């Protein structure tokens, strides 16, 4: 049986009355700390860029590798986790008629755990006891308190995830036969990926803690790397799924269009959840200890993630063209002129979408067994990361902030602040073009990642990298300007902008849209399929790494 998409009464009431003030306070707290982490992490990134270009020498009490670790942890783990949880708790509140009191308490508990974890891990980085980068690969060993801080961070994410599941389950019980509102459907997908994707890294961290305390002499390095990447690349797709929730649902409303297809959108979410986790194995293509056949299977699994991405590209550009045609656009590309390029709520995610085209292509190159040999552990990888996460994800998150923060704080995005946002977006884009472009090019020339500036004894090849590293420093300088502007805008929208009502933009389906199939709601089935795919990818290598374990490694401290 198929049911039409209907807007529940709770959603209509929320649109009329606005978000519960207690719920908005929760999300604004998450956002406040997230953007403070962005500010600190941004300055650490600037110091890295200047150091890598040979323009600045960091002091011995806070060296390049401390800055690199702090930048990664704050940007990749703390900012994204806090923003994602805060955003989706606002989504759940708006679309499900408010958070349950117990779930709101879980949201605050999750925030407290994540804050404690951030302080613990961050203090170890500052003290010089955790210069192991955000990937924290053994056999480099950090202080055990760094790993314990990561445990708090992961447990906080789990608490937030189960809060989402409880709220959605309660809503489904009260609204039998109804589809979960689309944005809440995205939230379920993201939190399912967060929970199941982080199980591997949680196991890894629990094996590293006794090793870091000295209770175990050695650690299985290859097993630890494998468990980390079961989470590491999943995290990237969690950010991506968070970003496309705004592309599918908010952006069409902002441009005056409609949702492309409720059914297709839910199918994309389901496909990303099922196919995603084994994709992390392509980070280990050149690792020893795995058979060639296993690596080829994981290449296929990694490339399969491209299918929902291509579906998203088709859907979004179809929305843009449909909307433009309705506004009277003529010719092949006439619809481009009708898009609201001066509205930062559209401009930021639109640039993010465009950046994902070369970013996705670069990801396919790194997934390929042969091409990966060329770019592995070079600055190309860092450039790819800044193009996908630093541009596609970050600009979409900024775009969300421009409408969600005024909605939560009951204020308005004024024309003046919108113009400042457009400038910030363009500065950020220019900075990433310089930085990511230089990283891609110099990576092809052999410049390694994760290393401080060196001429390697005035080697001619190393000296040829210097002009590109200068462009990297220029990009980093532009980006810190963008960071400072964004943080100013965020807190202005929270506390200083004029009072008023701001819409939570949710696109309506097309009038002639077909009903959404009921089978899309079978989350139990999708989770079982996800576990089956994960088992196909990981049971054989993990069992092999445990049964035929390589010699364990004692700890090393290279700093």
Q: How far apart are CA 507 and CA 248, in angstroms?
A: 8
Mean pLDDT, range 84-102, rounded to an integer: 95
Mean per-residue pLDDT over the chain, rounded: 91
Given a contact cutoff of 8 angstroms between Cβ atoms, the answer to whether 197 and 230 are in contact is yes
Given a cut of 50, is residue 89 above it in pLDDT?
yes
Given a contact cutoff of 8 angstroms between Cβ atoms, the answer to whether 212 and 142 are in contact is yes
Q: pLDDT tens digits for 225-236?
A: 999 988 888 888
Helix (H, G, I), strand (E, B) or coil at 307: helix
In the numeric block, the tokens 């879980």 are attached to: 106
Q: How far apart are CA 55 and CA 132, in angstroms?
A: 24
Q: Tell me, what's the pLDDT at 551?
A: 86
Q: pLDDT tens digits for 460-474?
A: 999 999 999 999 999
pTM for this entry? 0.94
CA angle 88, 94, 95 (to 5 degrees): 90
Q: How far apart are CA 264 and CA 306, in angstroms?
A: 15
- Which of 14-23, 60-69, 137-146, 426-435 shows the lowest mean pLDDT across its residues? 14-23
Q: pLDDT tens digits for 118-133?
A: 999 999 999 999 999 9
pLDDT band at 12 (very low <50, low <70, confident <90, very high): low
CB atoms within 10 A of CB 126: 14
Percent of the chain surpassing pLDDT 90: 75
SS3 content of the chain, % helix, strand, coil (to 5): 75, 5, 25
Q: Tell me, what's the pLDDT at 10?
A: 46
Q: pLDDT tens digits for 225-274?
A: 999 988 888 888 899 999 999 999 999 999 999 999 999 999 999 999 99
CB atoms within 10 A of CB 421: 24
CA angle 173, 178, 183 (to 5 degrees): 95
């Amino acid at each position: 049986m198929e049911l039409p998409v209907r807007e529940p009464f709770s959603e209509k009431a929320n649109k009329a009355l606005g978000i519960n003030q207690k719920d908005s306070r929760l999300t604004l707290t998450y956002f406040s700390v997230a953007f403070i982490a962005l500010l600190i992490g941004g300055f650490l990134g600037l110091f890295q860029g200047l150091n890598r270009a040979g323009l600045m020498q960091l002091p011995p009490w806070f060296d390049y590798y401390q800055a690199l670790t702090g930048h990664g942890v704050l940007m990749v783990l703390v900012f994204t986790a806090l923003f994602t949880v805060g955003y989706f708790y606002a989504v759940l509140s708006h679309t499900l008629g408010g958070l349950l009191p117990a779930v709101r308490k879980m949201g605050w508990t999750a925030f407290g755990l994540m804050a404690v974890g951030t302080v613990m891990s961050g203090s170890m980085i500052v003290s010089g006891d955790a210069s192991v980068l955000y990937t924290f690969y053994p056999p480099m060993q950090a202080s055990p308190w760094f790993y314990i801080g990561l445990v708090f961070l992961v447990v906080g994410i789990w608490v937030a995830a189960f809060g989402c599941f409880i709220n959605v389950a309660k809503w489904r019980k009260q609204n039998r036969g109804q589809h979960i509102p689309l944005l809440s459907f995205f939230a379920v997908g993201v939190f399912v990926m967060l929970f199941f994707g982080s199980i591997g890294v949680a196991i890894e961290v629990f094996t590293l803690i006794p090793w870091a305390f000295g209770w175990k002499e050695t650690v299985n390095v290859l097993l630890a790397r494998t468990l980390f990447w079961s989470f590491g690349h999943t995290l990237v797709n969690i950010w991506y799924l968070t970003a496309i929730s705004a592309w599918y649902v908010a952006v069409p409303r902002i441009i005056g269009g409609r949702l492309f297809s409720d059914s297709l959108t839910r199918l994309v979410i389901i496909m990303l959840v099922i196919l995603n986790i084994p994709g992390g194995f392509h980070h280990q293509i050149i690792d020893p200890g795995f058979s060639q056949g296993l690596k080829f299977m994981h290449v296929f699994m990694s490339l399969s993630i491209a299918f929902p991405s291509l579906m998203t590209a088709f859907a979004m550009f179809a929305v843009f063209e449909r909307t433009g045609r309705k506004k009277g656009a003529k010719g092949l590309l006439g619809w481009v002129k009708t898009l609201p390029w001066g509205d930062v709520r559209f401009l930021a995610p639109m640039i993010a979408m465009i950046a994902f085209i070369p970013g996705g292509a670069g990801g396919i190159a790194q997934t390929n067994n042969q091409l990966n040999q060329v770019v592995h552990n070079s600055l190309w990888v860092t450039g790819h990361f800044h193009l996908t996460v630093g541009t596609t994800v970050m600009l979409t998150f900024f775009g969300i902030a421009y409408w969600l923060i005024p909605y939560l704080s009951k204020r308005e995005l004024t024309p003046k602040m919108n113009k400042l946002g457009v400038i910030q977006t363009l500065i950020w884009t220019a900075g990433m073009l310089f930085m990511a472009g230089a990283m891609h090019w110099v990576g092809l020339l052999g410049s390694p990642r994760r290393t401080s500036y060196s001429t390697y004894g005035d080697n001619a090849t190393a000296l040829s990298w210097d002009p590109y590293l200068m462009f990297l420093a220029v990009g980093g300088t532009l980006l810190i300007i963008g960071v400072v502007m964004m943080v100013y805008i965020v807190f202005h929208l929270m506390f200083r902008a004029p009072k008023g009502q701001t819409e939570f933009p949710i696109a309506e389906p097309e009038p002639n849209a077909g009903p959404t199939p009921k089978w899309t709601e079978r989350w139990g089935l999708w989770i079982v399929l996800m576990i089956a795919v994960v088992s196909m990818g990981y049971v054989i290598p993990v069992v092999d790494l445990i049964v035929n374990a390589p010699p364990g490694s004692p700890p090393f401290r290279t700093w």
